[in-house]
Amino acid sequence: METRLRCGWCEGDDQYQRYHDDEWGVPVTDKQALFERLILEGMQAGLAWITILRKRAEMQAVFHGFDIERLAACTEKDVQKWLGNAGIIRHRGKLEAMINNAQLAAADNDFSVFLWQFRPETELVHQTLKTVPSDTSESKAMSVALKKLGYRFVGPTICYAFMQSVGMVNDHVSDCWRHDAIAALLRGI
């Protein structure tokens, strides 16, 4: 069995490793996929990412595949129903923010372009997880811009985790088997 060096945060759990190997850091430009990741990162606030991964399939089912238009049309009745589902993140503020954010994203035809404008100009290479920041000037700028538009659950740390997730930054450590492949993908954007 082949042993691959990975970023240490994903070791010890198959679901974490699959997410790390297949999704984390792969550049995403599709509006719908970007919206889902932004919502998932907001749902994580105060929780471990593994909690989100374990509830992700149920959230995708319950939240209409994170379809922006369908979520934008949701109401308090939907929130009440969701609050009774233990398979999802049952936090009223996060659920209401998701609807709010869907309404804003639905009205923005340039959502992807808007978000990707915050991609850092230079790539940082991390030798260890200790050098990976929790936020940056770019994530702070993204947070300010999103909040100004009325988005919620989009603080600088959430925005930076989102940037990592959708490949705006490559925070795979330098000896991780995914680092070079992700760097090559980013050079292609």
The class that CATH gives domain 27-187 is mainly alpha
Q: What is the pTM of this model?
A: 0.95
CB atoms within 10 A of CB 14: 8
Catalytic residue among 16, 24, 36, 41: 41
Mean pLDDT calculated for residue range 148-161:
98
Per-residue pLDDT tens digits for 90-148: 999 999 999 999 999 999 999 999 999 999 988 778 787 888 889 999 999 999 999 99
CB 182 within 8 A of CB 125: no
Catalytic residue among 49, 58, 96, 177: 49
Q: Does 1 score more than 60 pLDDT? A: no
* 24 is annotated as an active-site residue: no
Catalytic residue among 19, 82, 116, 160: 19
CB 16 within 8 A of CB 189: no
* 41 is annotated as an active-site residue: yes
Buried b (16+ CB within 10 A) or exposed e, 57-74: eebeebbeebbbeebbeb
C-alpha distances in angstroms, 6 versus 11, 18, 55? 7, 11, 23
Per-residue pLDDT tens digits for 64-92: 999 999 999 999 999 999 999 999 999 99
Q: How confident is the model at residue 19 (pLDDT cuts 50, 70, 90)?
A: very high
